[in-house]
A and B are shown apart, each in its own frame.
Chain A
Amino acid sequence: MQTAQKTTTTLKQHIVEIISDSGEGAQRCGQSLGAIAARMGNGIWTEEIIPAEIRPPARSVAGASGNRIRIGSGRVTNGGDETDLVVAFNEQVLLGRVRAGELQPGCIILLENMWRSNADPVIAASYAETHRRLVDAGYRVLEIPMEQECRAIVADPRRGKNMFALGILCNLYSLELQLAREQIALAFGKKDQGVVAQNVKLLEAGHAWAEAHLDFRFRIPAERSKEPQVVINGNTAIALGVLASGMEICAMYPITPATSASHYLSDVFEKVGGVVHQAEDEIAACAFAIGASYAGKCTVTITSGPGYSLKQEAIGLAVMGEIPLVVVNVQRGGPSTGQPTKVEQGDLLAAIFGSHGDAPKVVMAPSTIEDCFYSIITARRIAETFNMVVVVLSDASLATSQQPFPRPAFSESWIAPPVDQSAIPEGMKPYDWNAATGLARRFIPGQANGMHTLTGLAHDRESHVAYDAESNEESIHFRSLKLAALQRTLKTPPVFGAPEGDLLVIGWGSTQGAIEEAVASLREEGRRVSSLHVRFLQPLPGGLKQIMQRFGQVMTIEGNWSDRPGDAIIDEDNRRYSALAMLLRSRTLIDVDCWSEVKGQPIKPGAIRRVLLERLPAAMKETSR
């Protein structure tokens, strides 16, 4: 075997994607690559590339299925910009990615070349034509006989090519082969040893092929953290959070992209005495959760946009009855059925203002995978402390992205206390609202002297139906006051960057990594820009206005719709702002601007950088002075 003269390039970070027709194993390949890099000590962020259909036709432009992995030297907080290197099992799925603008100019493409000699002249011609165009467009296309090489090892190369590709990538990124072998053993551990051995063989063959035929390699220096790290996606983190919070019941109805959290939970919840109840519909799931919470266990229901809409009346009931409840909404594109597999931050206002009447509830949004885990624990505790509904807004990006974070150290304080069955003191009423905080003891069935009927109707302190003006206003007053009581306990979020400057960017949810990366890169160039990420959206923490006042301009970056000021009929009288911008404007009376996009993809740090640069002309002059 002839070894070419290799050049090794050291990189800070690189974005790799592996794409194929659905069912060819690109997902598995990508996930494994991410895990191996994480084991090396690299920072990673992996994202799924999912076609909208379960089985799109083979070789279709819209059918790309796979994984996108950003490997970095240090911690990686987001998926980054355009892809640097792609492995494609056919040229059509690749075309889809090219057209979507997902590839970096000059991107390296490792392309399965079996199509060139396909028996069908149409396919062969399409391949040759696409290849030529890609080369002309400046991409560095390397044709690789993956299928042919695999055939020497397996009868059906379609089922093994992904591990061959993994071998190539391990070689290209100088990843330890032994770690890759171990990862395969872990991934296929449930199957027999023969399967593991065959996949290891394919891995090694890919590695050897790259060693012999490719004249370049990358090295992304890694530093293993001293703390143990776990690698999971946001939905798994949410499910683990449910486990860790001590909640015992999750009532749900299948909906994309929330369902994978329930899948995982269904698998593991029973091992710790929990139950996932798949209800007959979204409303039933919420009502079931409310019933279980009312009976003394704080319960969670997990859903996504359309399901969240369906639950609104029941959520209002929990607000009215002051029943603790955790509602997870893994946001997707809306309105209506929208884009089930795509990311959007379109449900913030629905989460805060949803359900008719004044229905105050807590809304929080995790911004990292780690945060998904801890948010559920916090949500459960808030729900039971304040007898409130806590909505946790995740999104499709967090749901399917993976990122390492320090393995959580178990704490007893996470867990819900046992159901309180102590008797109610004589004279205490079911809604003995504290005049200062609105809080009242939660009455739970089984508690002697506590008998009353909880009602969704307006009620007085004794839970008697009350239509009189005084009772109605009093109860609305106290339910609202609880938000202020919680708000008093919230910390002002830290500013990323300097505490004052020309521009402050505020975000929420999954955009934190991308925003901070853009801000950091601009700060390195001397720009006076900082950012702030809000975790509690309702109530908003205190101190925001004071921070905002120290900046020349304030804007939000969000993944939801806001009107484009450039449109001919859009002006200050009719411009619709992004959700958080709207909230901040009304809260602080500061002229908060916004920029948003609804492409169904995570917002890229490069896009944010460009937006910030447009708003920062003044900063240029100031720094040059």
Chain B
Amino acid sequence: MTMMATECLLQLCEQRYELEDYQSGVPRWCTGCGDNAILAAVQRLCRDEGLRPEKTVFVSGIGCSSRFPHYMRTYGFHGIHGRALPVAEGVRLARPDLTVFVNTGDGDCCSIGAAHWIHAIRYNMNMTVFLHDNQIYGLTKMQASPTSPRGLKSNTTPRGSTLEPLQPLSVTLGVQNVSFVAQAVDWIPETLFDIVKAAYHHKGFSFVRIVQRCPEWLPKMWDPWLHDPQRILMLKHKDGMQLSEGLGKVYKNQAQHDPSNLDRAREIASNTDLIPVGILYRNPAVPCYEDLRASRELRTTEYLRKGLEAEFDKFTVWPQ
């Protein structure tokens, strides 16, 4: 099947995608699981941005969150526990033409894959990363995770967990080369979508922590925040998230926050009583690893042959 280049272009322009074009299978998450909200926001993003399904890859690790790629009708990579980020980095370096998303959970990212997380921030490769943080291991049936609050009773901490939780926002904001950090909650779909969209549009490692409910193991965990909108701190800014009038009426605890202010972002992140929602930090000037490493040459056979022969020349002893 051949067609003219212009014809091909026309066809591409005409290509419209509907939500169904991104839907695959029936999610097997529990009713009320925050993952469903994230899936809805992401599918909407794909449709609105007209992302070509064959050019889009969702990479995940292991856990409830990591089933995500199976429910997208795009390419997906459901790998091994903790290693979603290095896999996604490999995809990104090999194929800059693909759009890369990562779905990872609090166990996957902040525990078994923590080393990769730190370094992924440093590499700052262009990908959008969703940390589905429900503060519990769900798939393995209720063990404390690094983000579980102190005192949480779980199957591995029957008398309450003994450690202070790790703060994913603080950790991310503390790493050199951080370029985008935002936070959303699964129960405010409008801001969730806005943040997902802003993350997608940032070129670099866009890290979105999504505070997520687990109706199965921690059904009441977020009730204090759900019942008291004052405990949500809405971060607004002309360069950050905008708040609709309707949401502004419900979430009255609002603050102006300039996402270019890293110190202020760190301060906000360290306040654990309130849940800040919005864009904490954005710096489009941080270079992406794949751009720093990319070859500027067209890699033809002849180009390769020349390079190889030059190396053989160095080692040829006879004849010289």
Question: Which residues of A are in contact with B by a Cβ distance under 8 Å?
Answer: 35, 38-39, 41, 182, 224-225, 228-232, 236, 240, 243-244, 246, 248-249, 251, 268, 270-275, 277, 279-281, 283-285, 287-297, 299, 313-314, 316-317, 321, 404, 407-408, 410, 412, 415, 419, 445-457, 464-465
Contact = CB atoms under 8 A, between A and B. Distances in A.
A21 to B, nearest CB: 29
B93 A243 contact: no
Interface of B: 24-25, 53-55, 57-59, 62, 69-70, 72-80, 83, 85-95, 97-98, 115-116, 118-119, 293, 295, 297, 299, 301, 303-305, 307-312, 315-320
Given A296-B95, A317-B80, A287 B304 contact: no
A410 B308 contact: yes
Nearest to B76: A453
Contact of A454 (B53, B78, B115, B299): B78
9 contacts: A229-B318, A243-B307, A272-B307, A280-B118, A290-B79, A290-B87, A291-B86, A294-B91, A445-B75
Contacts of B309: 410
Given A228-B316, A284-B115, A452-B76, A268 B311 contact: yes
A453 B92 CA distance: 17
A457 B72 CA distance: 17
Contact of B93 (A225, A275, A290): A275
Contact of A291 (B72, B87, B119): B87
Contacts of A321: 77
A625 to B, nearest CB: 47
B86 A232 contact: no
Given A291-B89, A450-B75, 7 more contacts: A228-B316, A273-B303, A316-B80, A412-B301, A453-B78, A455-B70, A456-B62
Given A272-B307, A314-B80, A415-B304, A445 B91 contact: yes
Interface centre among A268, A271, A284 (most CB of B within 10 A): A284
A236 B312 CA distance: 11
Given A273-B303, A407-B312, A289 B90 contact: yes
B55 A446 contact: yes
B86 A284 contact: yes
B88 A291 contact: yes
Given A272-B299, A287-B83, A291-B59, A39 B116 contact: no
Contacts of B75: 445, 450-454
B94 A248 contact: yes
B318 A38 contact: yes
Contacts of A464: 25, 70
A317 B308 CA distance: 32
A268 to B, nearest CB: 6
A313 B307 CA distance: 35
A294 B87 contact: yes
Contact of B295 (A224, A275, A447, A450): A275
Nearest to B54: A448
A295 B303 CA distance: 23
Contact of B318 (A225, A270, A299, A419): A225
A273 B70 contact: no
A337 to B, nearest CB: 20
B91 A291 contact: yes
A38 B24 CA distance: 64
B86 A454 contact: no
Nearest to A445: B75
B79 A317 contact: yes
A272 to B, nearest CB: 4
Interface centre among B54, B87, B293 (most CB of A within 10 A): B87
A39 B304 CA distance: 27
A275 B293 contact: yes
A313 B320 CA distance: 47
